[in-house]
Amino acid sequence: MHTILRGEEGLKSALGRIPSGLYAIGAVHEGRRIGMLCSFVEQAGFEPPMISIALGHDRPLRQVLERGGLFSVSILGTEDKKLLAAFASGREEDPFAAFTLAENGHGLPQLAEALAWLACRPRGSVAAGDHVVYVAEVVEGCLHREGSEPMIRVRKNGFSY
């Protein structure tokens, strides 16, 4: 016999079971690199290639996206635990500083050790409770490690990180 959770407990448990990847999001703001760990990223279109990304209202990265500035998405792979730790800390200093960066034509931080990388330009947004959801066009991308698998996260509680 299985236990069925209902009500708020059932809702937060069920919502938390929606799997997501883990991503190091980056940009340059006022001449310095900023970055954060994000799990609310999803492909949202094919032509042109689009993604959606949700950021909390207090995230400094929103200042870049609100002005239409480019941002990067480093897709973390299963073997990228040290990258995950650096971006999960939430510290204010440059989380990219400890890692090798690859060159790109956009001046964005590109983690050479990540599974893959995207450069994106915001095209629209909508307020969504305690987050803002952005739709962004992917203007460049590359796969750093063919054959590797992306890191997947499943939360126990869909009401918090």
State the CATH number of the domain containing residue 72.
Answer: 2.30.110.10
75 in any annotated domain: yes
7 in any annotated domain: no
Write down the pLDDT at residue 49.
Answer: 98
8 in any annotated domain: no
137 in any annotated domain: yes
Q: How many distinct structural domains can be found in the chain?
A: 1
161 in any annotated domain: no
85 in any annotated domain: yes
Phi, psi of 128 (to 5 degrees): -140, 80
As given in the structure block, the two tokens for residue 19 are 């799997």
159 in any annotated domain: no
Q: Do residues 86 and 59 make contact, with C-beta atoms less than 8 angstroms apart?
A: no
Q: Do residues 23 and 40 make contact, with C-beta atoms less than 8 angstroms apart?
A: no
Nearest to 8, CA basis, from 154, 156, 128, 159 = 159
pLDDT of 159 over the 90 cut: no
Q: What region, left, alpha or beta, does residue 36 occupy, with left being phi > 0 and alpha being psi -120 to 50 degrees?
A: beta
> Taking the model in full, what pTM does it have?
0.93
Range of the domain at 53: 20-153
Say how far apart CA 41 and CA 52 lie, in whole Å: 6
The distance from CA 159 to its chain's CA centroid, rounded to whole angstroms, is 18
69 in any annotated domain: yes
According to DSSP, the residues that pair with 125 across neighbouring strands are 134
**What tens digit of pLDDT does each residue of 86-135 get?**
998 766 689 999 999 999 999 999 999 999 999 999 999 999 999 999 99
In single-letter form, the type of residue at position 57 comes to H
Write down the pLDDT at residue 92.
Answer: 66
Taken in order 30, 33, 36, 37, the sign of the CA dihedral is positive
Q: How many CB atoms lie within 10 A of CB 145?
A: 14
Average pLDDT value for residue range 2-20: 90
Phi, psi of 33 (to 5 degrees): -75, 140
